[in-house]
Amino acid sequence: MNAAPQRSDFERVMVPNYAPQNFVPVRGEGSRVWDQSGRDYIDFGGGIAVTCLGHAHPALVKALTEQAGKIWHLSNVYTNEPALRLAERLVERTFAERVFFANSGGEANEAALKLARRAAYDRFGEDKYEIIAFDGSFHGRTFFTVSVGGQPKYSSGFGPRPAGITHLPYNDLDAVAKQISDRTCAVIVEPVIGESGIVPATPEFLAGLRELTRKHNAALIFDEVQSGVGRTGKLYCYEHYGVVPDILTSAKGIGGGFPLAAMLTTEAWAKHFSVGVHGSTYGGNPLGCAVANAVLDIIDTPETLAGVVKRADRMAARLNEIAAKSGAFSELRYRGLWFGWQLKPAFRGRAGEVLAAAAREGLMVLLAGPDVVRMAPSLVISDAEMDEGLARLERAVLSLFGG
């Protein structure tokens, strides 16, 4: 038998667009992961807000393996039972009347932006194509979505960007009021910005966007790729605000770790994606949708959603203790089990060191830029796993910043 691949093989065989940690996880159960040497890690990263039920959840393993024994793939030349079941549930539980399935958040946003442009084109002609997006936002890595995202470092160096995209400061409604016009076809916004540090929209901002987009016949798109599927204690974050979008994108948590995404919308918008206008070979595949149905069985219950809030407050209290002991953090922002832990200016740029120190202590965390430690653990993490992870985090933080 060949020897197991090692982390050192990465540079030899992989495109160098990632710089993974120096261990290779091979197995997970709940909020614990083991590497090749058998060392265990507590997972506060959740695969970047994806594994919302932890690793190898028995209900998800059952749904996947049962479906695997029936039918894996059909293409969209046919429909399939798990996709129809999932769409039915999403329609029942949200503002949406129609669903389009894709495989990733970027693809769901690509579909949302194309839908907004196509609807505007059909209804008002070719001059209505402008898109308003926000500084610091992240919408995916396809060329359209990365151009719409508000982080030029990800979109520069690839030639001319698609035309008609304007970036404005987040939470600045006046700026939007000045920019928006009858040429605008869409405003796309994360209700809480994830990649730039868990920064929530103000209620006035989202309500104002709703009003302005309605006035100018533009689509209001909520990117809930990171904030959706229970992460903030509601099935979708827009429910906290009481502001309803025209299009909502969901990915990450929806498949609990199986690649799946959905674009939710109303019948009035959906009709502009008539047969052949958009598509995906794998979008809405039976395996992903079967898993997502099992995810919703567990997440979309009052007990689980209330549990998110309870767990979040418990974790936040301990994080604030660690912050006080270390003196290294200025603010803890959180919405449900989704934390952005801001380093003080004196420790600017050192979030990566926290990630590395946490790994040394047997803990997985995330970054949101160089100054923010981000965490997005399983929504059903046990108290014991949480406490163990927090103890490891405390050791990691104090090893760096004393206290």
Q: Is 122 a catalytic residue?
A: no
**Residue 255 interacting with ligand PLP (CB under 6 A):** no
Quote the least distance from Cβ 248 to ligand PLP, whole Å. Answer: 12
23 is catalytic: no
Check 101, 138, 222, 347 and give the catalytic one.
138
Catalytic residue among 223, 246, 329, 339: 223
Min separation Cβ 115 and ligand PLP, Å: 16
Query: Is residue 251 at the binding interface for ligand PLP, with CB under 6 A as the rule?
Result: yes
d(CA 271, CA 258): 28
Write out the chain in H/E/C secondary structure. CCCCCCHHHHHHHCCCCCCCCCCCEEEEEECEEEECCCCEEEECCHHHHCCCCCECCHHHHHHHHHHHCCCCCCCCCCCCHHHHHHHHHHHHHCCCCEEEEECCHHHHHHHHHHHHHHHHHHHHCCCCCEEEEECCCCCCCCHHHHHHCCCHHHHCCCCCCCCCEEEECCCCHHHHHHHCCCCEEEEEECCEECCCCCEECCHHHHHHHHHHHHHCCCEEEEECCCCCCCCCCCCCCHHHHCCCCCEEEECHHHHECECCEEEEECHHHHCCCCCCCCCCCCCCCHHHHHHHHHHHHHHCCHHHHHHHHHHHHHHHHHHHHHHHHHCCEEEEEECCCCEEEEECHHHCCCHHHHHHHHHHHCEECEECCCCEEEECCCCCCCHHHHHHHHHHHHHHHHHHHCC
Measured between alpha carbons, how far apart are the two ends of the chain, in Å?
Answer: 49
Site for ligand PLP in 82-141 (CB under 6 A): 104-106, 109, 138-140
Q: How far is the CB of 194 from ligand PLP (least distance, A)?
A: 4
Smallest distance from the beta carbon of 224 to ligand PLP, in angstroms?
8
Q: Which candidate in 35, 234, 252, 401 is catalytic?
A: 252
Q: Indicate which single residue of 194, 197, 256, 377 sits in contact with ligand PLP (rule: CB under 6 A).
A: 194
One of 226, 265, 293, 378 touching ligand PLP (CB under 6 A): 226
Smallest separation (angstroms) from ligand PLP to the CB of 400? 26
Which residue, 48 or 71, has its beta carbon nearer to ligand PLP? 48
375 binds ligand PLP per the rule CB under 6 A: no
Question: Quick check: 334 binds ligand PLP (CB under 6 A)?
Answer: no
Q: Binding mask 139-158 vs ligand PLP (x if CB under 6 A, - otherwise)?
A: xx------------------
Closer residue to ligand PLP, CB minimum distance, 228 or 389: 228
Does residue 223 carry a catalytic annotation?
yes
Q: Does 257 bind ligand PLP (CB under 6 A)?
A: no
Q: Which of 35, 43, 223, 385 binds ligand PLP (CB under 6 A)?
A: 223
Tell me how far, at minimum, the Cβ of 123 lies from ligand PLP, in Å: 26
Query: Which residue stretch of 223-231, 311-319, 352-360, 383-391 sits at the interface with ligand PLP (rule: CB under 6 A)?
Result: 223-231
Q: Which of residues 23-52 bind ligand PLP (CB under 6 A)?
A: 48
Give the footprint of ligand PLP on this chain (CB under 6 A).
48, 104-106, 109, 138-140, 190, 194-195, 223, 225-226, 251
Residues assigned a catalytic role? 138, 223, 252
